[in-house]
Chains A and B, each alone.
Chain A
Amino acid sequence: MNTISEYSLAAVLLVIKLFTLSMYVPVDGENPVITAVIFTIMSLIKLCTLIPLFYCAKKQGGYAALSGRFKAFGCIFFALGAAGLAAAVSDLLSTAIESVYPDRYTKFSITLIFFFICAYIASMGIKGFSRCSAGALFVILPLMLFVFYQMRGALLNDRLNFYADRPLPLINQTVKNLLEYTVDYFIFFGLLPYLKGSPSRAAGIYICADIIIVLLVLLTSASVMGSFWDNSGYIFFALSFSTFGSVIDRSDGIYLAISSGAAIICGSALLIVLKDSLNFFNGAKDKNILLISAAALTAICVFADNLQLSSQRLITPICLFSAAVLFIISCISAVRIKRIDVMKNERTAQS
């Protein structure tokens, strides 16, 4: 009963992707059309790395490698990853909002509130959390589509091209930049125990929608901002500052609401993963674990902020390391399942 469907999981991941999209900052000299192409290729590679997982799910419905003695390792891995990413997500959001609205919001105040709101949503259980995500998605997407519809006259204009002064270094930089925003891979694996249906369907729906949304945002912002795109800072907010009077007088408020709401969903997902991992080591109630985790993470982030330590740097290494480990574990699981299958078939043939 504590399960969600493939569509719910896809909705959760899409909201998380909207958060990472709202935090995207291009590097100097980046070409948005090249970024769009590289992102599409990386998404398809991401889908391919999930093939061993799909095989495992089809045969046995989970990881064979994470049962028994490997479960402790898995829980430590997910606990550390979730805690690190939650701190990094909070830092990312608070830094972005403070830089866009320096007179109104401070990192300290955003960090104080962020984890407790995430803990509250996580305390609703997986069903409540997925309902929140679906609700957020149904509100966010029409708003974004409405604003983009008003900019339709400016789309796909002469400003789009594949030109780069030095193509190979630019591709290298763009790939590194895009890897900073891959927290969805970790969360996908973290929420798999709650998935009732097929992970391949969830991943397929999510990646298709992901590619469409990201291409829309990248190409719209590139069409509107032209060569200023790579200096525009947070492209989401820069795009909102280019819509004065088109439909909504100040759509930057809408974008702030979208990025904050999506960040809370992302933080809640990470707290759910952290709570499940810590549950393995102690039998405490979920709500207690969530409240203590929220308090601990808040304290760590505020402390790190006072020491001017940025936890945003944790995102890329955690995402890369966790993706590599999860992929290897998926492959190991798939090989083990295949070997067990072969041995079963041999025994059946002998008998």
Chain B
Amino acid sequence: MKRIYYFLIIALFSLIYFNNGAPPEIADRIMIHAVGIDRTQHGYNVTMQVFSPSGTGSDTAIDPSLPNVSLVSGKGITVNDAMKDCIIKLGGNVFLGQNRMIIFGKSIDLSKKDDIFGYFLASSDTFMNVDCAMAENTAAEILSVPIPGSAISSEKYPDMIEAAAADGRCLKTTFLDVIDSLESHDIAVILPIFSKTQKQTEGKSSDSAEGKESGGDEALPESELEIKNGALIVGGRARAQLTYEQMGIAGMLNGMGEYIRTEIKYDGVSRTKTFKLRSREVNVTRSGDDIDIYITCRLSPKDAQIFHSKRHDHNADMEAVKLLEKKSQALCDQLCAADSPELLNADLYLKRYFPSLYRQNKDDLDRLYKNISYHIKYM
């Protein structure tokens, strides 16, 4: 039998295959670029930033001077219901595959994992490494801030986190990190906080040569977003805030970050020093009930050093490293005493080095965690 018959049969079945629910064209899809989740009295409020090109009538479809997004919000008892409410309002083929950001409101309780994460885990469009953050108040407020300057407003959120993390000012937390923390005993995670600031700038009176009305001295309100602090989430709820310096330190100590910074005063001059992590070694020892975790990090300076002598910069770096070591030790002591050592991967170290001890105490880990102490050394 000739091979042509194979082709005919495959072609025939291909007609059925490709005609059976062909996927919609990209132009027909409604693309979600950012999602905000707020807890309300009766459930959850989800706010979505939807791609909406604003350049209609101009030469380009997308006008970079405009945010190119529109907002849609929905309510529901769970996030799944709220998302469906949004999708009903949008209509059409909603596509979550381009979502770049999930922002949680301040009042969120991450321990209710089925209510909050059920939709995202069930959807095959969700990418697990989207960035997650927290809003200073509500996520809807943050998502409603127009951010011009790029093709799509919501690209700014992960770009801001990326830039801050590269400067040791922020911890990049992905959706996977949040899901991972839900499996731990303390449900502990650190999220960067987006906050909204109002800035006012003085405007000069405009020239009337072109027929414009003069405006005199006017204050132009300019909204900005910034990442100032980090939310310390323990037990699923925001418990405290970390400064951006502490966020960078925590990120480097638990392996999620690469950069660390501090401000020092050297030779009477205040300066900031940023370091990149070269290597991180962890060793865990046990004596009796006490468990000591030793973290040794090798750092290399990241800042450009042009106008001073090498010796001068080296001395300044050593000062900065010593200061960082003290701050890191203080942060570790604070997290172990008041919050959760799981933020510094204590549970993972126990599972790796002392699995039988962890197994014996897994029903009463708080008692085990009280005996943990960290010892930080920077080189």
A-side interface residues toward B, CB under 8 Å?
Answer: 100-104, 106, 109-110, 112-113, 116-117, 119-120, 123, 157-165, 224-228, 238, 241-246, 250, 285, 287-288, 291
Chain A CB within 8 A of B379 CB: no
Q: Is A104 a contact of B10 with CB atoms below 8 Å?
A: no
Supply 7 further A-B pairs (C-beta < 8 A) apart from A102-B124, A113-B14: A117-B10, A120-B3, A120-B6, A163-B352, A224-B176, A228-B176, A242-B127
The answer to whether A158 and B97 touch across the interface, beta carbons within 8 angstroms, is no
Q: Is the CB of A287 within 8 A of B128?
A: no
Asked if A227 and B183 sit within 8 Å, CB to CB, the answer is yes
**B124 and A100 contact, CB distance less than 8 A:** yes
What distance in Å separates the Cβ of A164 from its nearest Cβ neighbour in chain B? 8
B255 an interface residue at 8 Å Cβ cutoff?
yes
Question: By the criterion CB–CB under 8 Å, are B359 and A244 in contact?
Answer: no
**Is the CB of B225 closer than 8 A to any CB of chain A?**
no
Residue of B13, B255, B358, B359 ringed by the most chain A CB atoms within 10 A: B13
Judged by a CB distance under 8 angstroms, whether B5 is at the interface is: yes
Interface centre among B21, B127, B177 (most CB of A within 10 A): B127
How distant is the Cα of A242 from the Cα of B180 in the complex, in angstroms?
13
State which residues 313-372 of B face A: CB under 8 Å.
Answer: 345, 348-349, 351-352, 355, 358-359, 362
Q: Would A291 and B176 be within 8 Å (CB), given that A241-B126, A243-B129 are in contact?
A: no
Nearest A residue (CB) for B350: A163
Number of chain B residues whose Cβ lies closer than 8 Å to a Cβ of chain A? 40
Write out the residue numbers on chain A whose beta carbons fall within 8 Å of the beta carbon of B255: 157-158
B residues engaging A (CB < 8 A)?
1-3, 5-7, 9-10, 13-14, 16-17, 20-21, 23, 97, 124, 126-130, 176-177, 179-180, 183-184, 254-255, 282, 345, 348-349, 351-352, 355, 358-359, 362
- Smallest CB–CB gap between A173 and chain B, Å? 17
A161 to B126, CA, bound (A): 28
B23 touches A103 (CB 8 A): yes
Would A161 and B1 count as touching, CB distance under 8 A?
no
B98 to chain A, nearest CB (A): 9
List of A residues within 8 angstroms of B23 by Cβ? 103-104
* CB proximity of B374 to chain A, nearest CB, Å: 14
Interchain CB contact under 8 A, B1 and A285? yes
Name B282's closest neighbour in chain A (CB-CB). A158
Q: Provide the residues of chain A in CB contact with B124, threshold 8 Å.
A: 100-102, 241
Q: Can you give 9 contacting A-B residue pairs, CB < 8 Å? A: A100-B124, A104-B21, A119-B6, A158-B255, A159-B348, A165-B362, A226-B180, A227-B180, A242-B176
